[in-house]
């Protein structure tokens, strides 16, 4: 789970333009098998209730993006087996932590020896072999690039492209909030309602917003009764 | 699993006889190379002006450094670099087309024979050329790249691509050896030349190296191994 304190942390990093750190922080908090898995998990964190949405200012108007409009056309997570030279190679969607084509290679089998490929062990794979996999890798990258970051309609849409800036933008849309508002909210709950700082490690931003909503309702009722 | 990794390591290690630096044991290009290149590129701010020029200069510097680090005691030459780039490209593309490159690379020696005469305003200038070594190329690149306040214009590329080949400049019978000038002085000297003179210097180099110009293009093509 991405906690309130996680959101606070990435919002501060983003505010300070530490974009690489934003990426590292979130990818550590959300371990994933590959980029598809990562995006699905981000989406699940962001859209908990049916009416959850992302609000964007586009052309001085508010654009509301619901779950169905976000990361539209994200492909299903599939892998394929390809016979290249004397190797049997499993290729799939890339890892989130690497922008290199090699991260699309999941397994290499030579006779009975199997190598499960990951960024910790792929450094010795010759580029000549990677080059032979390129056309297969590109089919996965092409499908990935058919995704929309959001697609409300043909006028209000934003295409995905496999690069770090767009991945960070997706993280921003899912997890970054106004930092000042977050600490004000946190401070209020700690001062007035005895939340501890550690409590925010175990509660999501949605849960905290629920508490705040209930508190506001209660305060409004009290105000009405006083009048 | 380790067995396959070892097989890849074995596949990558090879001995190559370089045109100027004799035999060397090196690794064919692998994902480790791509990872290092990627890390090098990722540190370049993408929002700066003339970012393409920065990428080109940084890529050449990266390749030079990569070759220099193959064997720190050797002075690798420009010819060694072109040979290696071609070797790596043929390997990555699994090409077995017979190459005449080793013979063609001998044209680099002809640079020493050129005496280019230029007239710059009232000054009579004679320029002599040489083959650069990679350490010197990287000194020029570091000089160009380290000044972050200055835009990396196309003229920086021209400066690098021409003045690295200069051995001396004779102005009105006074000879200035390039090695005796600081890079700042050399750059200031470069700025004195008009476009026409620079074109003549560039033409003298590219005409001499005409038969290896395709390989020379690899030098700045950062998509070749990325």
| d(C-alpha A99, C-alpha B151), whole Å | 28
A194 contact partners, CB below 8 Å, separation of at least 6:
none
Rounded CA-CA distance A113/A158 in Å is 44
Residue B25 CB-density burial (10 A; 0-12 exposed, 13-18 middle, 19+ buried): exposed
Of A100, A110, A116, the CB nearest to B34: A100
Domain boundaries, chain A: 4-73+147-218, 79-144
- The sign of the CA dihedral A45, A47, A49, A53 is positive
CB contact under 8 A, B38 and A99: yes
Under 8 Å between Cβ of A96 and A29: no
Report chain B residues whose CB lies below 8 A from the CB of A99: 38
Both tokens assigned to A185: 């909210």
Q: What is the pLDDT of residues A58-74, one digit of tens each?
A: 888 899 999 999 999 99
| Residue-wise pLDDT tens digits, A210-227 | 999 999 898 888 877 766
ipTM: 0.85
Task: Give the residues of chain A that fall short of pLDDT 50.
Answer: none
Of A102, A113, A114, the CB nearest to B31: A102
CA A175 distance to own-chain centroid? 8
Between B4, B34, B91, which is nearest A102 by CB?
B34
Per-residue pLDDT, A14 = 97
Distance CA B100, CA B108 (A): 14
Q: Is B116 helix (H, G, I), strand (E, B) or coil?
A: strand
C-beta separation of A113 from B3 below 8 A: yes
Q: Do A113 and B1 touch (CB under 8 A)?
A: yes
pLDDT at B148: 67
Question: What confidence category does residue B11 fall into, taking pLDDT thresholds of 50, 70 and 90?
Answer: confident
From CA B114, how far away is CA B97, in angstroms rounded?
Answer: 32
């Amino acid at each position: 789970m991405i906690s309130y304190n996680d959101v606070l942390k990435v919002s501060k990093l983003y505010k300070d333009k530490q974009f690489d750190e934003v990426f590292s922080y979130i990818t550590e908090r959300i371990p994933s098998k590959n980029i598809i898995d990562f995006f699905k998990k981000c989406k699940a964190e962001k859209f908990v209730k049916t009416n959850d949405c992302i609000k964007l200012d586009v052309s001085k108007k508010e654009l509301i993006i619901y779950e169905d409009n976000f990361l539209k056309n994200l492909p299903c997570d599939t892998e394929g087996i390809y016979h290249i030279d004397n190797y049997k190679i499993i290729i799939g969607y890339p890892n989130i932590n690497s922008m290199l084509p090699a991260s699309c290679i999941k397994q290499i089998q030579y006779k009975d020896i199997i190598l499960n490929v990951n960024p910790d062990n792929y450094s010795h794979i010759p580029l000549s072999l990677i080059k032979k996999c390129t056309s297969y890798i590109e089919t996965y990258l092409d499908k990935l690039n058919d995704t929309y970051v959001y697609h409300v309609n043909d006028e209000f849409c934003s295409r995905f492209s496999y690069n770090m800036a767009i991945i960070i933008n997706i993280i921003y849309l899912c997890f970054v909030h106004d930092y000042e508002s977050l600490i004000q909210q946190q401070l209020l709950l700690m001062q007035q309602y005895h939340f501890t700082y550690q409590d925010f490690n175990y509660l999501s931003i949605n849960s905290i917003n629920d508490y705040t909503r209930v508190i506001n309702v209660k305060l409004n009722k009290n105000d009405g009764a006083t009048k | 699993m380790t067995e396959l990794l070892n097989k890849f390591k074995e596949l990558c290690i090879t001995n190559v006889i370089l045109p100027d630096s004799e035999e060397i044991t090196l690794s064919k290009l692998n994902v480790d190379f791509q990872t290092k290149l990627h890390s090098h590129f990722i540190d370049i701010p993408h929002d700066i002006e003339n970012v393409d020029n920065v990428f080109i200069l940084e890529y050449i510097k990266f390749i030079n450094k990569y070759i220099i680090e193959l064997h720190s005691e050797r002075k690798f030459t420009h010819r060694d670099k072109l040979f290696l780039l071609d070797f790596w490209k043929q390997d990555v593309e699994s090409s077995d087309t017979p190459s005449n490159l080793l013979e063609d690379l001998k044209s680099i020696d002809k640079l020493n024979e050129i005496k280019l005469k230029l007239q710059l305003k009232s000054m009579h200038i004679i320029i002599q050329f040489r083959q650069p070594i990679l350490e010197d190329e990287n000194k020029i690149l570091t000089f160009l790249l380290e000044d972050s306040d200055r835009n990396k214009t196309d003229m920086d590329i021209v400066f690098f691509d021409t003045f690295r080949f200069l051995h001396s400049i004779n102005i009105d019978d006074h000879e200035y050896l390039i090695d005796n000038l600081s890079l700042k002085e050399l750059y200031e000297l470069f700025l004195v030349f008009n476009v026409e003179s620079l074109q003549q210097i560039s033409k003298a180099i590219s005409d001499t190296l005409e038969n290896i110009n395709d390989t020379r293009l690899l030098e700045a093509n950062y998509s070749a191994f990325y």
